[in-house]
Amino acid sequence: MSLDFENQLVKYNEKDLPNAFVSIGVQLDNDGKAKHAVIFIRYRKSDYMVHFPGNMPPVIENYTGKLTPNLIYKVLDNFDTEDDSDVGSFLWHCQMICEKSTLTYGFIFDNSTYGNDGRYMSLSGLPEIATCVGFCINVLSNVVTDIDNSYFELNDWDSQGIIGHYDIWAMQETEKNYPELDWNLYNTYKKRISPIEYLCSGFCSVYPITKQTIQNIQPYIESVIARKLA
């Protein structure tokens, strides 16, 4: 089981991979802990990182040629690595999302997503609010799951683990952008899903993904990361 994780979890530029792929990735802090969620894409020999920095709109950064060990990713099986048009179409979709997004940082997970035109589709009635993890999940959800399925079994998660000063800043930003917001609705969908849990989800193929499934995988993922950084 751990050997499978060892082979499929990749440190940036660790080994040759297909010229085209989409992956679930995280950036690590100096202690090797997952701190930031990204979608990492390779298309026609160029590398792109799609992510939400939190203090600015979602962006696509050209990552080509960077020499950094702090990006770890798992290639998704949902995209054709032999035909780069599949990956190219998804990269274009991400570009449309980034161009149209008005995302505000906040710990909201409500199974919302983005349409084929790149516009945000709210399922809860809340405006476009998410963390780096939430943004990535919202972008990927309709691509890797059936339209009727949610990505995560969100009832398994709650607000436990949200750091206080991040929470306060997020609510201040939300209030500034949406002064008429329904805060009861906001608190209903306020949850914490961490970057390491997001990375673990790349190894799952049954949706919605439960927290127990993630907890079963996480120790193996963390041990592989530690070995790759040693």
pLDDT tens for each residue of 9-55: 999 988 777 889 999 999 999 999 999 999 999 999 899 999 999 99
Going by their DSSP bridges, the two strands 113-114 and 104-105 should be labelled as unpaired
Amino acid at 153: E
Distances (CA, A) of 118 to 102, 105, 142, 195: 12, 19, 12, 23
Residue 109 has pLDDT above 60, yes or no: yes
If you average pLDDT over every residue of the chain, what do you get? 93
The residue type of 6 is E
Residue 115 has pLDDT above 60, yes or no: yes
> Span 191-213, mean pLDDT?
96
- pLDDT value of residue 2: 43
26's enclosing H/E stretch is strand 21-28
How far apart, in whole angstroms, are the C-alpha atoms of residue 175 and residue 171? 6
Phi, psi of 90 (to 5 degrees): -70, -40
Question: Is residue 87 predicted with pLDDT exceeding 80?
Answer: yes
Query: Distances from the Cα of 179 to the Cαs of 25, 115, 183, in angstroms?
Result: 34, 26, 10
pLDDT at 157 over 50: yes
- The predicted pLDDT at position 149 comes to 77
Residue 99 has pLDDT above 70, yes or no: yes
CA-CA-CA-CA torsion sign (2, 109, 106, 186): negative
Please report which confidence band the pLDDT of residue 183 belongs to, taking 50, 70 and 90 as the band edges: very high
pLDDT of residue 147: 63
**Range of lowest pLDDT (1-15, 28-42, 80-94, 211-225):** 1-15
Of 37 and 7, more confident: 37
| The two structure tokens encoding residue 83 | 């035909």
| Mean pLDDT value of segment 188-207 | 96
Q: Where are the beta strands (DSSP E) in 32-122?
A: 34-43, 46-51, 59-62, 71-75, 104-105, 113-114, 120-121
pTM of the model: 0.95
163 vs 131: CA distance, rounded Å: 13
